[in-house]
């Protein structure tokens, strides 16, 4: 993701420096690239998870929420969920099954630590 941010920044800078005049479409293009970079940076830097005794809290840019730990039924460790709700920034994370049919994908810094903390709180948790 950082590579994409750098590429878009360099592309925008080169186009800005080489153009003789700036028209409306050039300004619109630069603003679009700037907003895209801002969104990517907010996803990269703003994705985090926290756990207390009752909930797992997640945040990824503008996506935020919490899941009751007692509703979590299963953790699939080392998996990647390609479709669905993914407040995550990497592959080989954890697919969290909760409720009756709901699931969400997390990519914590350490899968083992995340599973260890959740397993201590919810002893009925199935870990695959």
Return per-residue pLDDT of the chain as tens, 128 residues: 778 888 888 887 887 788 777 778 778 888 888 888 888 888 888 888 999 989 999 998 888 899 999 999 999 998 888 877 788 888 888 999 998 889 999 989 889 999 999 998 988 888 88
pLDDT at position 55, please? 94
Instruction: For tokens 């730990």, name the residue.
Output: 69
Biggest alpha carbon–alpha carbon distance for the chain: 66
Specify whether the CB–CB gap between 97 and 72 falls below 8 A. Answer: yes
């Amino acid at each position: 993701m950082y590579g994409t941010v750098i590429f878009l920044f360099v592309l925008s800078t080169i186009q800005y420096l080489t153009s003789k005049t700036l028209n409306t479409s050039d300004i619109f293009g630069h603003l679009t690239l700037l907003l895209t970079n801002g969104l990517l940076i907010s996803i990269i830097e703003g994705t985090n998870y926290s756990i207390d005794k009752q909930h797992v809290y997640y945040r990824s840019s503008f996506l935020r929420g919490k899941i009751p730990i007692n509703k979590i039924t299963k953790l699939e460790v080392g998996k990647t969920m390609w479709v669905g709700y993914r407040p995550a920034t990497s592959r080989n994370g954890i697919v969290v099954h909760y409720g009756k049919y709901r699931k969400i994908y997390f990519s914590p810094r350490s899968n083992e630590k995340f599973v260890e903390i959740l397993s201590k709180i919810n002893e009925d948790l199935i870990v695959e």
